[in-house]
Amino acid sequence: MRASQKDFESALSQVKLLKDPGNEVKLKLYALYKQATEGPCNTPKPGVFDLINKAKWDAWNALGSLPKETARQNYVDLVSGLSSSSDSSSQVKPEADRKQPGYETLVVTSEDSITKIMMNRPAKKNAMTTQMYNEIMLALKAASKDDSAITVLTGNGDYYSSGNDLSNFTDIPPEGIEEKAKSGAILLRDFVDCFIDFPKPLIAVVNGPAVGISVTILGLFDTVYASNRATFHTPFSHLGQSPEGCSSYTFPKIMGPAKAAEMLIFGKKLTAAEACAQGLVTEVFPDSTFQKEVWTRLKAYSKLPPNAMRISKQVIRNREKEKLHAINAEESRVLQERWLSDECTNAVMNFLTRKAKL
């Protein structure tokens, strides 16, 4: 439910009763207040020696074009979080309360400056349906504008994701299979573009086996943590398909062309340790302590200055962006043709009629 003007006014009164929340939170409150009441920052930047006003300006300016209503909502949420934590500092909100509404294939939560996007089709090994691609794009767009410092993609259940849901290929529109391939290529391109353009640190928490597109896009993440149960499998030739997610460029760059070819052409499945040795994975954790160790680390990272992290990411990634968009477009174009091939049709039919599994 959206915060009303009355909710906002009551949050403004409530904030005066709180004990000092510290400078970082005060800046956040200031920025959200300005954005909610005046819109995007368009005042001149204070001089470098005017430290306080410059910090305030920076915080406001960092909200970019965040809509007034969203800023108002974020302000109300922030004050309500501060009030409840000062009522009971050890109280933990149940996940159901933090869950953002409107997603059917995902669970999206924001807490401790971390937005967590969890793929949530465990019975189908988190296979990505058209709806899931669209919801992930929506969640990433929202996370790019919310006040979290970092964003995490992970999976619910024993799999991270089994990749593209092969039944995506079955609902053929009346215009025919060519039209299906065309719309699939547009969806794929838009989906991967969202990862290329994502402005904040993006972390994959790979809780179990990963297949296909869930593996290839890892080259666009900033950090990849994996359970030692995870495996990394890109069986494109087996499926009559070809690489996507910019992996035709990022994988040779990350692991060298020979190792990349073994994965992308011959479909060699890597263990988590192998993926780490080849630079695709940042660090591997024992499955028994995976969640605890990873989230402790991420909570610590999320307290680092968010603007510095975003700018460091820009410096690292921006010079490649244009190239990555061109590669994404080309890979999507090639796949559009592949999806119409007999090799691909037969492989998908074999899976759907239970004749083949990876």
Q: Which is nearer to ligand L24GHEU4, 235 or 306 (CB)?
A: 235
Phi first, then psi, for residue 278 (nearest 5°) are -95, 5
Tell me, residue by residue from 132 to 151, as one string, x for binding to ligand L24GHEU4 by CB under 6 A and - for no binding. Answer: --------------------
Burial class (CB in 10 A: 0-12, 13-18, 19+), 298: buried
Segments of 234-316 assigned E as strands = 270-271, 283-285
Query: According to the binding rule CB under 6 A, does residue 345 interact with ligand L24GHEU4?
Result: no
CA pair distance 195, 313, nearest whole angstrom: 13
Binders of ligand L24GHEU4 among 288-307, rule CB under 6 A? none
Q: Which of 30, 295, 301, 351 binds ligand L24GHEU4 (CB under 6 A)?
A: 351
Q: Which of 41, 78, 188, 255 binds ligand L24GHEU4 (CB under 6 A)?
A: 188
DSSP at 197: H
CA-atom Rg of the chain in angstroms: 22
Q: Which of 118, 112, 100, 135 is nearest to 204 (CA)?
A: 118
Window contacting ligand L24GHEU4 (CB under 6 A); options: 28-36, 80-88, 96-104, 121-129: 121-129
What contacts 62, CB < 8 A, 6 or more positions away? Answer: 31, 306, 307
CA pair distance 22, 63, nearest whole angstrom: 20
Q: Least separation, in Å, of the C-beta of 69 and ligand L24GHEU4?
A: 32
Q: Which of 144, 168, 207, 223 binds ligand L24GHEU4 (CB under 6 A)?
A: 168
- Residue pointed to by tokens 């869950």: 99
Q: Least separation, in Å, of the C-beta of 259 and ligand L24GHEU4?
A: 19
Binders of ligand L24GHEU4 among 198-227, rule CB under 6 A? 211-213
Q: Which of 7, 135, 147, 165 binds ligand L24GHEU4 (CB under 6 A)?
A: 165
What contacts 22, CB < 8 A, 6 or more positions away? Answer: none
Q: Least separation, in Å, of the C-beta of 57 and ligand L24GHEU4?
A: 42
Q: Least separation, in Å, of the C-beta of 125 and ligand L24GHEU4?
A: 4
Q: Which of 164, 94, 81, 153 is nearest to 119 (CA)?
A: 153
Segments of the chain assigned E as strands = 106-111, 114-119, 150-155, 202-206, 210-211, 223-227, 231-233, 270-271, 283-285
Query: According to the binding rule CB under 6 A, does residue 163 interact with ligand L24GHEU4?
Result: yes
Helices and strands per DSSP (H, E), number in the chain: 14, 9
Q: Which of 28, 125, 189, 229 binds ligand L24GHEU4 (CB under 6 A)?
A: 125
CB count within 10 Å of CB 24 equals 14
Q: Which of 18, 55, 137, 187 binds ligand L24GHEU4 (CB under 6 A)?
A: 187
DSSP at 229: T
Query: According to the binding rule CB under 6 A, does residue 124 interact with ligand L24GHEU4?
Result: yes
Query: According to the binding rule CB under 6 A, does residue 230 interact with ligand L24GHEU4?
Result: no
Q: Which of 70, 164, 223, 227 binds ligand L24GHEU4 (CB under 6 A)?
A: 164
Query: According to the binding rule CB under 6 A, does residue 329 interact with ligand L24GHEU4?
Result: no
User: Residue numbers of the site for ligand L24GHEU4 (CB under 6 A)?
Assistant: 124-125, 127, 162-168, 184, 187-188, 211-213, 239, 241, 244, 351, 357-358
